[in-house]
Chain A
Amino acid sequence: MGSVIEVKDLHHRYPNGFHALCGVSLTVAKGEFVAIIGQNGSGKTTFVKHLNGLLRPTAGMIWINGQNIRKRRVSEMARTVGYCFQNPDHQIFCDTVYKEVAFGPQNLHLNQAEIDERVDEALGAVGLLHVKDEMPKELSKGHRQRVAVASVLSMRPEILIIDEPTTGQDYRDGIEMLNLVQRLNEAGHTILFITHDMPMVARFARRVLVFRDGQILLDGSTQQVFAQPALLRTTFLAPPPITCLAQAFPELFPETILSVDKMVEQSLAVLRKREKVMPS
């Protein structure tokens, strides 16, 4: 698989002098599902805002689909890289859901039939066809977040970046949002999402980037990253509770466990082996 994102020695210094990114390099292949974790101020959002040109590097290079994006405009980038803001209210500005989702395609100068087709497709993907004519501001936060995702999807971007999709949502809405993102990933979209929710990372991401002080501290499969609790602790992160429980018994569970179900299965296996359980 070819790489869709390539970043080489990226630096960003904000006008106030804060050095938010200090040499970030990585490659993301088409179809990956990547979680980005780290404390606030570690550079996560600054990093992803470079991928669609919202921020420009102080130094370093970025290629999207093999093309250097140095001179590409944000409006051009929006066809390839969709970015959902952390707070949907920072991006929603139209008075109906339809207009909000149609805004991007309209700017591509598509004909009306094509625009309508894209709006229906995007709202269908997020399960909001029934509120097409409603006012976004009157929807719940979970639904506003989905409108924001739909307005990005209607551009049919190959790469989808979602900044804290579950913050401020209840558990059920959070899971639903990530199930939706997972379906988009299965349909071929490359996904990057920023989060503080470790059980969600364990459940959905296949690769994890850990940011600390503007650099990538760890980059690996979800299992590899959560297998290093000591290193994670240096940036005040911890694996999900179930992973920590398994890690309290390293000789019994040598492999990093990411889900409750897996922990139950492996515990039963361990107990049977030790003959702590009589066969029924």
Chain B
Amino acid sequence: MSEIVKLENLSFRYMRGTVPALSDIDLSVRAGEFIGITGPAGAGKTTLLSCINGVIPHYYAGELQGRVVVDGLEVATCTLHELAGHIGFVFEDPDFQMVSITVEEEIAFGPENLGIPPHEIELRIQDALQKTGISNLRERAISTLSGGQKQRVAISAALGMLPKVLLLDDPTSELDPVGTQEVISALRAINHQLGITILMVSQNMEQLVENADRILVLSEGRLILDGAPREICMRADVLKRVGIRVPQVTEFMISLLLRLNRSPQSDKIPITVEEAAGMFQEILHKGIII
């Protein structure tokens, strides 16, 4: 698959910052990947997203080094207007980005500003609402919606711009379990059906492990781990050291195997409850030789 986001030697220091917010980040994202980004507070997660959508350097002043290319566009030299049709952004708090009274107005807002003709906007509204499963909310006032519904409106509004890449900054942290599930299902659907590349920041490791193809771990502005969920979970020691929660079932199995004098295999270590149950069953039947 082709490369859709490319970061080369990226470093950034905010104008008032004493230390760099990001240091020497190299990253290549293939079109259609679902990437999870995690790390402790202050690790540079939001800064990284801001460098990809162009908020850095277009809004925030600071010292930027290296290169960011998204969908063939050089982010530092394109205008935000040009980038808007390629990259969508969803904030942690949906209220932060809503500008309209009703759901359909919110989705129409972006395309209207690009001068898209009305019949085309209509198609985009229908499509975006359908993809996030909220067609029934089209006429509703945004203020009457639940958190999970509002966050899906924010995602639909981003989809209305037909982006190739969707960036989300911890979109479920303010939601309850039902709202979280609604948002994750919508994201999986647009990733699978539309092939939109997703980069999602989250503190919820269990959520990333179950949904992302690949996980990036940031700490103190550096990309310290980059790999498939199972590879990342195997590095429980590193995750713990930088203050990231390891999925409980992974922690359990690593620690059980170590107590049995076995070294955990990175291609087999369970990352979900179902996998852990399967592996435990196997140990029960066959003994510890696995």
Contact = CB atoms under 8 A, between A and B. Distances in A.
A237 interface: yes
B248 A40 contact: no
Interface in B154-211: 170, 173-179, 181, 203, 206
Interface string A73-106: 0000000000000000000000000000000000
Interface in B231-287: 243-245, 247-249, 251-252, 255-256, 259-261, 273, 276-277, 280, 283-284, 287
Contacts of A274: 284
Contact of A264 (B175, B259, B261, B273): B259
B41 A170 contact: yes
Interface stretch (A27-35, A46-54, A238-246): A238-246
B252 A170 contact: no
Given A40-B176, A40-B179, A276 B288 contact: yes
Contacts, number: 100
A245 B252 CA distance: 10
A170 B283 contact: no
A263 B255 CA distance: 10
A240 B287 CA distance: 27
B252 A171 contact: no
Nearest to A141: B41
B177 A245 contact: no
B263 to A, nearest CB: 16
A268 B178 contact: no
Nearest to A169: B41
A196 interface: yes
Nearest to A270: B284
Contact of A140 (B41, B178, B247, B252): B41
B96 to A, nearest CB: 12
Given A39-B178, A167-B173, A242-B249, A173 B287 contact: no
A136 to B, nearest CB: 16
A260 B255 contact: yes
Contacts of A248: 273, 277, 280
Interface residues of B, number: 39
A267 B173 contact: no
B255 A271 contact: no
B40 interface: yes
B284 A276 contact: yes
A41, A236, A267 pick with most chain B CB within 10 angstroms = A267
Which of the four size classes fits the interface of chain A? 35 or more
B147 interface: yes
A264 B255 contact: yes
B273, B276, B283 pick with most chain A CB within 10 angstroms = B273
B146 interface: yes
A245 B249 contact: yes
Given A277-B260, A280-B261, A39 B277 contact: no
A173 B173 CA distance: 14
A248 B279 CA distance: 12
A172 interface: yes
Given A39-B176, A39-B177, A260-B255, A241 B206 contact: yes
B249 A142 contact: no
B71 interface: no
Contacts of A267: 252, 256, 280
Interface in A227-280: 236-238, 240-242, 244-245, 248-249, 252, 260, 263-264, 267-268, 270-271, 274, 276-277, 280
A86 to B, nearest CB: 9
Contacts of A199: 245, 248
A66 interface: no
Contact of A41 (B146, B206, B283, B284): B146
Contacts of B178: 39-40, 236
Given A240-B248, A241-B206, A268 B259 contact: yes
Interface string B121-153: 000000000000000000000000011000000
Interface of A: 39-41, 140-142, 167-173, 196, 199, 236-238, 240-242, 244-245, 248-249, 252, 260, 263-264, 267-268, 270-271, 274, 276-277, 280
13 contacts: A41-B146, A168-B173, A196-B176, A237-B177, A242-B249, A245-B276, A245-B277, A245-B280, A260-B251, A267-B256, A271-B288, A277-B260, A277-B288
